[in-house]
Amino acid sequence: MSQTIFVLNGPNLNLLGSREPDKYGHATLADVEALCRATAADYGMEADCRQSNSEGELIDFIHEAGARKAAGLIINAGGYTHTSIALHDAITGVALPAVEVHVTNVHARESFRHHSFIAKACFASLAGFGIEGYRLAILGLATRIGAKAKA
């Protein structure tokens, strides 16, 4: 098995830090990626962080993760969470352990955000922890696959 975790971020997450900071905070996507790389390294793994505003490109990233036999996926599909059966199918198709992450608590927001097509393809979902949710997702994934923290 690979020691790589794919961390995928969907549409508009490239705007973290400037997009609605009252909801999403001031941390940038670069901050998220640094947090993920550092957390993965604590478990002797590597975080391959990618962002796309394109649904098709996110699907291609998921397929690549499967082909490379990645250790797992962390995915914040952004708005595609609520619309994309294709992302759900891609995640189930590669059969990798996956965690869904959202910076905000989607269940405390508009009703259209309350349904996730991604959640059923993932073994866990985290929402509302800010960017700390990514760290928690990696910890959960590491536990799920039996990775141990480096001493």
In a domain, residue 27? The reply is yes
In a domain, residue 150? The reply is no
In terms of Cβ atoms closer than 10 Å to its own Cβ (0-12, 13-18, 19+), residue 17 is middle
Assess contact for 31 and 103: CB atoms under 8 A: no
Q: What is the pLDDT of residue 110?
A: 66
Q: Fill in the DSSP letter of residue 77.
A: -
For the chain of 151 residues, list the mean pLDDT of each consecutive stretch of 10: 90 88 86 98 97 98 98 95 94 98 77 79 94 97 94 70
In a domain, residue 151? The reply is no
The number of folded domains in the chain is 1
Q: What is the pLDDT of residue 101?
A: 97
Distance from C-alpha of 46 to C-alpha of 48, rounded to nearest angstrom: 6
- Say how many Å lie between the first and final Cα of the chain, rounded: 21
In a domain, residue 58? The reply is yes
Catalytic residue positions? 24, 102
pTM for the whole structure: 0.93
Neighbours of 54 (CB within 10 A): 11
**Residue range(s) defining the domain that contains residue 42:** 4-145
* Helix (H) / strand (E) containing 50: strand 46-51
Query: For residue 87, what are its two tokens?
Result: 């992302």
**Closest C-alpha among 87, 94, 145 to residue 120:** 87
**Closest C-alpha among 145, 137, 122, 128 to residue 35:** 137
Distance from C-alpha of 41 to C-alpha of 45, rounded to nearest angstrom: 5
Q: What is the pLDDT of residue 54?
A: 97
**Closest C-alpha among 143, 141, 138 to residue 35:** 138
CATH number, domain of 85, equals 3.40.50.9100
